[in-house]
Structure 1
């Protein structure tokens, strides 16, 4: 894998903890750490630095999620029974929010009256949402089951324990159908099989499984193994491919060339992930189309409008959602939201605030793609980088019980603790799945870079 040699030297010589409030020698109490002799080809990664990056992931994802919720489903186009007028543009940032398709009496977002960042101050608590809560559940299940790879039964049992069966449970489309099927006795991956779940090509897995990429640093091949069944809990075909694209991006975030701008690294990561998409699929063609718009010098608004015309109006490249007459013209679909996500990824050029702005204004299910890239860039720049980008400190508490149930401390966790638990998960993955090692004294992982 390119960049590895340079990064190995850089990490091995210069990485120190950016911010660490507890001892560097974090140790998973449920893992027996084996002796390991590092190889010259191993990639050493600082666990302390990685913890700071995981804090940046959770923080960046929360900021992007809640900012994107302001515009969620405000703009989905003008086809079918629901018409929302012209899409937002850059000039709309800071202006009043408009009603979403869910507004019964013209209500605007309760999160912000204007199109602006939604931020939680120190002392406050971030609320869980569907962009963060299933990933939180998966991390807890990995720890509780003392495993790196969840079984279908473990996923089913975890969902049934932590997700309400009735009343408001913050699930939609394929996630909700999968839960219904679990309650009927089905076990993943049967819960996403097209003959069982007609929503298998909706957006769900794209926003619930990216974190598995972080669990296999610099090794997307292993990240794909870890994430396969969680993805296939709710997704198949293009929806599965798109989710795997995101997992690959997250894994590759540990393989970047630190001497290059973040924008260049993100483009490299995206091109590597694109190789996973078969050329004949609409997901591959959507990626290529947006990239071509970017390279041609089109504005992000022009690229987004071209995506709408090509895929929802003209139904090109095999994307036939409009003709299927799905509610809101399939505004929850994997495809159209993937195309919108590539717009914000390319045009955001690695800038956290710009990427969140574009993602929020792009349309459709705007909180989901925005949270994905907010989390990715948050990881790449770390918690300190997120704070620097906004010039402020943020709340570090997280309330998983806003949307889920069955966790200790009445559902109140902290972002530093969530990151620490991520380190514990990775320790097991490094040792049991990657065949690498952990040096607790030097606080390093040694990641084999060859399969």
Structure 2
């Protein structure tokens, strides 16, 4: 796995040097700084810089002179037009998402902004696109925006309820071990259950289940792609390894990668780890091609030399999407009965790539798992998690709304309709609608593990994430003893991972490592 990471870093370093050439920081025919100087500026090793320069040489951007180092290619030597167009299209796509994000954050969007953006299609001057991005970054907040959503730790603490929930309950070591094992298994089961239909809307999932005679969902999906109606979503490329009769382990998924990785972060750095420690773990263990949306932008920003929390904001319009929320679980596992500690650990992880509700989603889930490990009361679990996030945030409002709707609704589908009406405007992998689906599953699952994860998946959208989160929270409540063994026996105690040096681990070892850290902490 390590060679993947080196290649990825070299590609990103090449991108930075290429950008400087395009913007005129290095002129045509000019000698580039020595490799050791570039390594110092970019915060990477000299071999990575050398590899990046070779990439640029192959593309025609850089020329090597015998005994003289690397030079920017002279006019006519580099394919600048094609590459600039590729970068331009990527930047414009990010800006389209950025405008949506700014609207959701309550920024004052001037009339004609989208038209101005589309006119940038006509330019090859990346400086103009950068200036437009800077203009957007400086937009002011709408005066009528009803929410207050800080991203800094002190601001979040001020906006929480005056007395955040502190658990007074404890469980004996044997019960705790059972619950931790239930949480790990629950996450693995929920992720695997939702993996084949990741990104599918509710109606497509329902149609497929009915076509295969398996509605409502009560077990892993049957693999029958011929049953998918024309015009509906196809299976996820890795679907078959997560379907009934074809499961031999927990398939590799980022929802599991991050849980293992964050356990590793605390093993190596202790409970006082920093966001920079998380960043270093990403660069050391995570291949770049296995991270997505907000995490991909943050990873690239790390290589550009940025540090948290700036890695979360620069050219990152995905900063409130679900990526941080799926990284929460290990912090809940490691703080049983202490939701405030769990939320603070999650915060240090989240700020690497997320802001506002992206951060709150991770804090909420970590706190919920923390309380679920010591409580049998679902309402207590949700309220404990709610007490850790800003009261005047959209996420806090969502949780309260879903709980209120669920009290009077006759079915989970009825609440799902209300969620769609209220939060359907958000992207399918945004934190808010997906957290709502997790809550719907928990509130209507009646503490039945199989029913709960099935509802989370049948709600649609980010099905593997939501199945994993619902499974983790409820698994922490009911323990391994409350999970049907036919759901975890197919795993053979094995988990696949993309993490360098951890490509396959045993579930038992993850539970043991978690228990050891809890006892040490």
- Tell me the TM-score normalized by structure 1: 0.69
Conservation of the 8 A alpha-carbon contact between 1:76 and 1:331 = no
Gaps of 5+ in 2: 1-164
Q: Residue 217 in 1 paired to residue 309 in 2? A: no
Structure number with higher helix proportion:
2
Q: Residue 189 in 1 paired to residue 309 in 2? A: yes
Deviation at 1:88, TM superposition (A): 8.4
Match of 2:180 among 42, 54, 57: 54
Gaps of 5+ in 1: 12-44, 78-83, 257-261, 316-320, 322-329, 430-451
**Corresponding residue of 2:435:** 338
Higher relative contact order (CA 8 A, sep 6+): 1
**Corresponding residue of 1:157:** 280
SS at match of 2:290: coil
For residues 186 and 87 of structure 1, what CA distance do their matches in structure 2 show?
A: 46
Deviation string for 1:69-119 (max 9, x for gaps)?
122111178xxxxxx7988899453788789x9x999643466679x9757
| Greater gyration radius | 2
Deviation string for 1:331-369 (max 9, x for gaps)?
111111112221112111221101111011101111112
Deviation string for 1:203-252 (max 9, x for gaps)?
11110122202211211122222222112112211121121111111111
**Corresponding residue of 1:66:** 192
Match of 2:450 among 353, 377, 380: 353
**Corresponding residue of 1:22:** none
Q: Residue 127 in 1 paired to residue 251 in 2? A: yes
For residues 215 and 250 of structure 1, what CA distance do their matches in structure 2 show?
A: 10
Conservation of the 8 A alpha-carbon contact between 2:166 and 2:337 = no
For residues 344 and 295 of structure 2, what CA distance do their matches in structure 1 show?
A: 21
**Cα–Cα, structure 1 residues 386 and 144, in superposed 2: closer, same or farther, change >3 Å?**
same
For residues 399 and 245 of structure 2, what CA distance do their matches in structure 1 show?
A: 31
Conservation of the 8 A alpha-carbon contact between 1:57 and 1:378 = yes
CA RMSD of aligned residues (A): 3.3
Which residues in structure 2 correspond to 1:210-289 (within 5 Å)?
210-256=329-375, 262=376, 265-289=377-401
Please, which moves more after superposition, 346-355 or 386-395? 386-395
For residues 184 and 153 of structure 1, what CA distance do their matches in structure 2 show?
A: 14
Conservation of the 8 A alpha-carbon contact between 2:179 and 2:478 = yes
Which residues in structure 2 correspond to 1:309-320 (within 5 Å)?
309-312=421-424
Deviation at 1:62, TM superposition (A): 0.9
**Corresponding residue of 1:108:** 235
SS at match of 1:127: coil
- Tell me the TM-score normalized by structure 2: 0.60
Deviation string for 1:31-56 (max 9, x for gaps)?
xxxxxxxxxxxxxx31x443332222
Conservation of the 8 A alpha-carbon contact between 2:343 and 2:364 = no
**Cα–Cα, structure 1 residues 398 and 96, in superposed 2: closer, same or farther, change >3 Å?**
closer
Conservation of the 8 A alpha-carbon contact between 2:320 and 2:430 = yes
**Corresponding residue of 2:482:** 385
**Cα–Cα, structure 1 residues 85 and 233, in superposed 2: closer, same or farther, change >3 Å?**
same
For residues 205 and 373 of structure 2, what CA distance do their matches in structure 1 show?
A: 41
For residues 418 and 446 of structure 2, what CA distance do their matches in structure 1 show?
A: 20
**Cα–Cα, structure 1 residues 155 and 104, in superposed 2: closer, same or farther, change >3 Å?**
farther
For residues 265 and 383 of structure 2, what CA distance do their matches in structure 1 show?
A: 32
SS at match of 1:398: strand
